[in-house]
Amino acid sequence: MSAYIIRRLLYALPILIGVNLITFVLFFVVNSPDDMARMQLGDKRVTQEAIDTWKAEHGYDLPLLLNEEARGLDKLTETIFFQKSLKLFAFDFGSSDSGRDIGYDISQRMWPSLAIALPVLLVGLSINISYALMIIFFRATYIDWGSVVLLVAMMSISGLFYIIGGQFLIGKLFHLVPISGYDTGFDATKFLILPVLVGVVGGIGSGTRLYRTFFLEEVNRDYVRTARAKGMRERVVLFRHVLKNAMIPILTGVVAVLPLLFMGALITESFFGVPGLGSYTIDAINRQDFSIVRAMVFLGSVLYILGLIMTDVSYTLVDPRVRLS
């Protein structure tokens, strides 16, 4: 398995270089180093000298991808792309364009993101699985039919509606929790209730529908029929046998997103004033802070690849028939 993991990690290198290159090109199609300097220095009274000084100070005075004035390998290395990308692979994110240490900011902001994402995942998972099993239990009844209608309706509603509706009902009308905000330590609890609730409710539609499909596939298999023939109660059949076997696709799907939980939710964090990595990325895009955008895209790619590797490994753990080679 170690050889497999090492091989997968090596495969990741060209992917990361590609992602980095695409991010770089997309960013600089829209923004030039001069634009970035203006964004940092402000609109008013900025001289070209000040812009040139800023660019030189931050390493944006080099050509973007190819330095035609340089010789040999320097043509590629004496460029913004190379200079800014190399350190990323050592996870040295450097400073943002406004001068703050990106690594430090990420280490501070990943925890609020996780504080929302992890409960949403766990609570959502248990509710969705339970609800899906209940639908299976009552399949071909009005409960099944009504639930499918309800779930499709819930899937059709925008996530933003859940956020605004949740804030309006629970925060504004019922005065049960703060509408938005965040705090550190245990004091964060009262701020997490609403975003977690909204995240869970917002995910019930798609999550339950997906798990219902997994369970439906299992429920018609021979071993289920055998269990029933042995006189087992339906809920025992579902919770002991069907659930166990359907856990393989559920678990692998969950494992894939585990590393990405750190990356945060863009809109949720913005509306609830949670200082996580999602709002960090959005802010950076709005401020044209390429250093942060690049670091966050890179980090997202690394975590995604990590998630896929973990998924493969988790197959071997939950299904002994699978061998990685």
Partner 1 sequence: MRRALAAIALLALGGCGEPPWNNPYPDEQAGDNVLYGAFGERPKHLDPVRSYSANEYAFIAQIYEPPLQYHFLKRPYQLIPLTAEAVPVPAYYDADGNALPADADPAQIAFSEYLVRIRPGILYQPHPAFARDERGELLYHGLDRARAEAVDTLADLPETGTRELTAEDYVYQIKRLATPWLHSPISGLMGKHIVGFEALSERISELAPAPVDGERPFFDLRTVPFEGAEVVDRYSYVIRINNRYPQFQYWLAMPFFAPMPWEAEALYAQPGMKQSNITLDWYPVGTGAFMLAENNPNLRMVLERNPNFHGERYPSEGMPEDAAAGLLKDAGEPLPFVERAVYSLEKESIPYWNKFLQGYYDSSGISSDAFDQAIQFDAAGEAGLTEDMREKGIDLATAVDTSIWYMGFNMVDPVLGGDSERARLLRRAISIAVDFEEYISIFANGRGVAAQGPLPPGIFGHREGEAGINPFVYEWHGGKPVRRGLDEAKVLMEQAGYRDGRDPETGRPLTIYYEAMDAGPDGKARLNWMRKQFAKLGIELVVRATDYNRFQEKMREGTGQVFMWGWNADYPDPENFFFLLYGPNKKIDGGENAANYGNPVFDALFEQMKNMDDGPQRQAIIDQMTEILRRDAPWSFGFYPKSFSLHHQWLYNVKPNLMANNTLKYRRLDPSVREVLREQWNPPVLWPLGALVLVLALGALPAIVIARRRERSSAR
Task: Give the residues lining the site for partner 1 (CB under 8 A).
Answer: 30-32, 35, 38, 40-50, 53-54, 57, 94-95, 98-101, 103-105, 108-109, 134, 137-138, 141, 143, 164, 167-169, 171-183, 187, 190-191, 228, 233-235, 270-273, 275, 279-280, 283, 287-288
Amino acid at 212: R
Minimum separation from the CB atom of position 129 to partner 1 (A): 17
Q: Which is nearer to partner 1, 212 or 309 (CB)?
A: 212
Minimum separation from the CB atom of position 45 to partner 1 (A): 5
What are the CA-CA distances from residue 9 to residues 60, 138, 310 (Å)? 31, 45, 11
Q: Which is nearer to partner 1, 43 or 68 (CB)?
A: 43
Minimum separation from the CB atom of position 230 to partner 1 (A): 12
Q: Which residues of 108-138 are buried (b: 16+ CB within 10 A; e: fewer)?
A: ebbebbbbbbebbbeebbebbbebbbbbbbe
Q: What is the DSSP string of 118-142?
A: HHHHHHHHHHHHHHHHHHHHTTTSH
Q: Which is nearer to partner 1, 233 or 323 (CB)?
A: 233
Q: Which is nearer to partner 1, 118 or 134 (CB)?
A: 134
Minimum separation from the CB atom of position 229 to partner 1 (A): 8
Q: Token pair of 279, please?
A: 């709002």
Q: Distance between CA atoms of 310 and 317, rounded to whole angstroms? A: 10
Q: Distance between CA atoms of 111 and 124, rounded to whole angstroms? A: 19
Which of 10-15's residues contact partners 24+ apart within 8 Å by CB, and which partners? Answer: 12/302, 12/305, 13/89, 15/301, 15/305
Q: Which is nearer to partner 1, 49 or 68 (CB)?
A: 49
Q: Distance between CA atoms of 23 and 290, rounded to whole angstroms? A: 9
Q: Which is nearer to partner 1, 205 or 255 (CB)?
A: 205
Q: What is the DSSP string of 211-253?
A: HHHHHHHHHTSHHHHHHHHTT--HHHIIIIIIHHHHHHHHHHH
Q: Which is nearer to partner 1, 71 or 175 (CB)?
A: 175
Minimum separation from the CB atom of position 191 to partner 1 (A): 7
Minimum separation from the CB atom of position 24 to partner 1 (A): 17
Minimum separation from the CB atom of position 181 to partner 1 (A): 4
CA atoms within 13 A on the CB side of 187: 4
